[in-house]
Structure 1
Amino acid sequence: MVSGSSTEHWDIFCAVVDNYGDIGVTWRLAKQLANEKQIDITLWVDDLNSFSHILPQLDPQLTTQVHYGITINQWTVPLALTYQPGAVLIEAFACELPDEVKTVLLKLHSDYKADSSKQKPPVWINLEYLSAESWVEGCHGLPSMQPSGLKKHFYFPGFTDKTGGLLCEGALLKQREEWQNDPQNKMALFAQLGLKGIEVQDNVISVFSYESSALLALCQHWQQSEQTTHALIPKGRSLNSLRSILPTQVDQLTSGEQIKLGNLIIHILPMTDQESYDKLLWSCDFNIVRGEDSFLRAQWAAKPFIWHIYVQEDDYHLIKLDAFMQLYCNNLPPELAKSWKALNLAFNQEQDTQATQHWQQINLANLPLLQHAAQWPIDAINDVDLVSRLVQFVKNS
């Protein structure tokens, strides 16, 4: 909950893109700012229906409501609620601010310029997408003067101390370690999610990807494997890749349903809130994730993973993927690094045969890969998380 003594107010605007990615990151940011930094947060969101999938208690019909101590306002056009400026205004992922907000900013800027005793305009920050590319260091924190005279700062999350850091709650890694130390935790979670027939020794893989024929190839490989493999897949885009082997139409599948295909058992996952999704990632042997939010949470899970990155024009997404893989594989044995990179590329480029081949090369019992996945979160957090860096950045501004 937000401390009652907090006097600082921040606004965050988020336009929902790709259903859960942008709002997933923004909601985690809002919660950490409120709960760990005692900042009064108002989150403006344009699509509460999509938001409600990761925050089930959210009522999409309400114009304003409070959850986890955070005020959530519906971002309508025009705004149904009055924007009251605070100390900071965050524009998530270059979403275009409402005209009413720009008008308020201009008025504050004009009044403060004429009389410095007036209220200062809020520190205006554009929170950018996460990238491991080297140019991010040079662009992080740069101001951009708008034609109106207002100044906007570009804040780039990243993996080095010259970037904005990574979203990670203060107690997360300790909570995850405690969870994974007791196998009964994952078994209880599987039961809670309606996932039946999973034994402690079985291979369990979570799948939250876009469409890819490589996923179909891997599933067909798991069908023939000697050990039982459980693939936990929510209704959505991943299942579209498996239409040719599913006995039921995708739109007819229901949460909790099981489909047995040889030694592969597909479980249809219910949608969960963010805390349960984190625990799901912690509980699986391998995670296939997409976008930005689940990509980062898979890293904090300390388990091997595939990153299915969002496709961009001219295959620019493959450049972003390569930049991360170079960083992630820095301390892996060369042959293992080569196979893990090739597996990720094959999945993203829908190279079915190569995906199966490299999956066999890395296998789920590969000790160096498991050790690397466990050490990576400790190295990646780089001493200071994004929220702590962001608060300090605002103070310096």
Structure 2
Amino acid sequence: MQWDIFCKVIDNHGDLGVCWRLASQLATAGERVRLWIDDASALGWMAPSGQSGVRVIDWLDTAAVQSAAAEPAPDVLIEAFGCEPAPELIATFAEASANGGPRRAWINLEYLSAEPYVERLHGLPSPVFKGPGAGLTKRFFYPGFTPATGGLLREPDLMERRARFDRRQWLQERQIPWRDGERLVSLFCYEPGALAALLGQLAADPVPTRLLVTAGRAARAVQACISSQNGLMPASGGRNALSISYLPYLTQPDFDHLLWACDLNFVRGEDSLVRALWAGAPLVWQIYPQDDDAHHVKLEAWLDWLGAPPSLRLFHHAWNGFGNAPLPALETHGLWRETALAARTRLLAQDDLLAQLRHLVAGKS
């Protein structure tokens, strides 16, 4: 079948990351995919080799839109995260749907959440009453963490590749210095207010830590903290246990490898959260902040699903700026690790997102 996925880049490549993984998995499964994107520049480092079966189209290119509108309509139209496809393309899709033939599906792919409404709304129809798509019906597709939702993206061989991964070899190939006994922590974040406290905590910790900082906002935030504090020596003047390695932009497979290599992963947004869950290591999530603090409710719902122990919950509160609570001590073993592994086991027992999406499109749910 022909699948059209529409994606608008809103925040630092996260939406594109999800859509590219979905497009790639569809193509690997034998489907034809057109990925419509308003800013595909991040694919230059995220997926430099592209993906056979995936055609990337700039939907800001008027000529490309007109050309595609003259082609046969897709069998499946996916509107990712509330973006609106070009009216010409919706009109082509609507005309093809009205003329009979194979069943076509219009899917509204929503953001990931653990809130209770996701289970209630997943799969529900949404009639279209105006515009070129009037008379058609979209279906809501909600990714999620429970069997009553659309699940999470997961490649069929993901756990096999995870089991074969050689941390030492990957670090050597990446020329990342690391010695036995040194804790590895990845940092992919926005600009958390507790970042300086984290760096200070790691610097003063008796366990040596190598912090692997991702390119972009995380690297700039760390550098700003170090600059403002004239370094990171512990307040007592003791030994600095923190070493920092700044990473280049990573391809999606290499970002997965980073998470697999680390003893603790700090992630942000949606795509990296899912990949950290599959990694099975302790993780701390910085949720995308919203002006009305709606993200507080969303984070609490996820912590409830996770079964987060009190120490992990309090750390998330401080990391995400809930009140003025100090940053608790972090853990890389014990309850945090047990919690991460238990969550992954529950998720692996459920159907992945692509399987459920194809099931919905086929009209079997």
TM-score by shorter chain over 0.5: yes
Q: Given the superposition, is the C-alpha separation of residues 187 and 324 from structure 1 closer, same or farther in structure 2, using an over 3 Å criterion?
A: same
SS of the residue corresponding to residue 17 of structure 1 reads coil
SS of the residue corresponding to residue 35 of structure 2 reads strand
TM-score (structure 2 length as normaliser): 0.89
Equivalence for 1:144:
126
2:332 to 364, 379, 388: 364
- Structure 1 stretch displaced more, 293-302 or 375-384: 375-384
Q: Which runs of 5+ in 1 are unaligned?
A: 1-7, 59-66, 180-184, 249-260
Contact preservation (8 Å) 2:318, 2:326: yes
Q: Given the superposition, is the C-alpha separation of residues 124 and 56 from structure 1 closer, same or farther in structure 2, using an over 3 Å criterion?
A: same
Contact preservation (8 Å) 2:181, 2:208: no
How many matched pairs?
A: 347
Cα distance in 1 between the residues matched to 2:97 and 2:158? 39
Contact preservation (8 Å) 2:185, 2:210: yes
CA deviations over 1:76-107 (Å, ceiling 9, x no partner)? 24252414312111111111111211221232
What's the offset of the Cα at 1:358? 3.9
SS of the residue corresponding to residue 107 of structure 2 reads strand
What's the offset of the Cα at 1:229? 0.6
1:388 to 351, 355, 360: 355
CA deviations over 1:143-191 (Å, ceiling 9, x no partner)? 1111111111110011122111111111112221232xxxxx2122222
CA deviations over 1:247-300 (Å, ceiling 9, x no partner)? 59xxxxxxxxxxxx9211111101111111101101100000000000110000
SS of the residue corresponding to residue 62 of structure 2 reads coil
Is the aligned partner of 1:103 residue 2:91?
yes
Equivalence for 2:33:
41
What's the offset of the Cα at 1:381? 3.2
Contact preservation (8 Å) 2:31, 2:53: no
1:375 to 315, 330, 342: 342
Q: Given the superposition, is the C-alpha separation of residues 230 and 46 from structure 1 closer, same or farther in structure 2, using an over 3 Å criterion?
A: same
Cα distance in 1 between the residues matched to 2:163 and 2:342? 12
Q: Given the superposition, is the C-alpha separation of residues 212 and 350 from structure 1 closer, same or farther in structure 2, using an over 3 Å criterion?
A: farther
TM-score (structure 1 length as normaliser): 0.82
Q: Given the superposition, is the C-alpha separation of residues 394 and 320 from structure 1 closer, same or farther in structure 2, using an over 3 Å criterion?
A: same
Cα distance in 2 between the residues matched to 1:160 and 1:291? 19
Which 4+ runs in 1 deviate beyond 4 A? 350-353
Cα distance in 2 between the residues matched to 1:278 and 1:239? 18
SS of the residue corresponding to residue 313 of structure 1 reads coil
Cα distance in 2 between the residues matched to 1:317 and 1:392? 31
Is the aligned partner of 1:171 residue 2:143?
no
Q: Which runs of 5+ in 2 are unaligned?
A: 229-238
SS of the residue corresponding to residue 194 of structure 2 reads helix
Equivalence for 2:236:
none
Cα distance in 2 between the residues matched to 1:382 and 1:130? 19
Equivalence for 1:258:
none
Equivalence for 1:253:
none
What's the offset of the Cα at 1:244? 4.9
Aligned-pair identity (%): 35
The two structures, once aligned, show a CA RMSD in angstroms of 2.1
What's the offset of the Cα at 1:353? 5.8
- Superposition pairs of residues 262-341 of structure 1, within 5 angstroms: 262-329=240-307, 337-341=309-313
Equivalence for 1:257:
none
Is the aligned partner of 1:54 residue 2:26?
no
What's the offset of the Cα at 1:350? 6.6
Amino acid at match of 2:83: C
SS of the residue corresponding to residue 113 of structure 2 reads coil
Q: Given the superposition, is the C-alpha separation of residues 94 and 154 from structure 1 closer, same or farther in structure 2, using an over 3 Å criterion?
A: same
What's the offset of the Cα at 1:228? 1.4
